């Protein structure tokens, strides 16, 4: 039941504004082996915790890559992909493809979006509530220090208030999810052995400076967390 919220503004009018503000939760079994995000190639140009790196290493723009993926999208279980070209001569571009939705990827207009275990902006109550909290923080982003903005976004992503009733989640999960619906219907999922184990916040300012913050659960213990921050600038 992962959740991702982001604001995309390719041409911010103020130097204090952000081109991209993104906050996400990764939900999975606490004991499942995983690695924290890190610079994993010798050139230190790819910061990632994911095994799927084809887009990052391919010589394709975001739309072309998602178009290529969509050709075989019907062969896989449900998935969503967001791909972006930032700092391009034509301006920032973000594209989206979900293999249970439209047959081809789409370009996203500037705005605020949300994604959970369905298609982009599917109006689940937890997603709508998360977007509401996220939007309230984003509206004040230019008045906050970068550090305070990160902390407020982490607070949003750790909200455990169940958003019920929500027939959409209940219908999708059917008998599997109904016994623990109140746990899954919150932005931050917290149930025995499964739930939110990583928070990620990405900020890209008007000058192309990136702040990547990741907060990871340690030893499958909900009371132990480690926060790592990386800062760098996008290539021109």
Which has more confidence, 172 or 97?
97
∠ CA 197-53-79 to the nearest 5 degrees? 60
Q: How many residues does the chain have?
A: 236
- Write down all domains in the chain, each with its CATH number in brackets: 3-233 (3.60.60)
Kindly state the tokens that stand for 93.
Answer: 């571009």
pLDDT per residue as tens digits for the range 185-234: 899 999 889 999 999 999 999 989 999 999 999 999 999 999 999 999 98
The pair of structure tokens assigned to 204 is 């890209």
Eight-state DSSP code of residue 143: G
* pLDDT tens track for 162-174: 998 888 777 766 5
**pLDDT per residue as tens digits for the range 3-57:** 999 999 988 878 889 999 999 999 999 999 888 888 877 767 888 767 577 888 8
* Residue 33 exposure: Cα atoms within 13 Å on the Cβ side: 1
Nearest to 43 by CA among 61, 57, 60: 57
Burial of 150 (0-12, 13-18, 19+ CB in 10 A): buried
């Amino acid at each position: 039941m992962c959740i991702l919220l982001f604001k995309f503004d390719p041409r911010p009018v103020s130097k204090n504004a952000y081109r991209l503000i993104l906050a996400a939760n990764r939900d999975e079994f606490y004991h499942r082996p995983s690695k924290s995000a890190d610079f994993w190639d010798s050139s230190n140009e790819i910061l990632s915790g994911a095994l799927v790196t084809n887009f990052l290493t391919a010589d394709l723009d975001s739309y072309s890559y998602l178009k290529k993926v969509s050709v075989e999208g019907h062969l896989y279980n449900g998935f969503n992909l967001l791909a972006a070209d930032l700092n391009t001569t034509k301006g920032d571009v973000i594209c989206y493809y979900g293999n249970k939705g439209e047959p081809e990827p789409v370009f996203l207009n500037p705005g605020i979006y949300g994604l959970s275990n369905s298609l982009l902006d599917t109006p689940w109550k937890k997603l709508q509530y998360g977007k509401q909290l996220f939007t309230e923080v984003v509206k004040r982003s230019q008045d906050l220090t970068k550090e305070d903005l990160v902390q407020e976004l982490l607070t949003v992503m750790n909200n455990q208030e169940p958003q019920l009733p929500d027939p959409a989640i209940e219908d999708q999960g059917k008998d599997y999810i109904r016994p623990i619906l109140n746990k899954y219907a919150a932005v931050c999922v917290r149930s025995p052995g499964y739930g939110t184990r990583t928070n990620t916040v990405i900020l890209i300012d008007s000058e192309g400076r990136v702040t990547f913050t990741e907060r990871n659960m340690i030893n499958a213990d909900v009371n132990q967390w480690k926060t790592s921050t990386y800062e760098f600038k996008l290539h021109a």
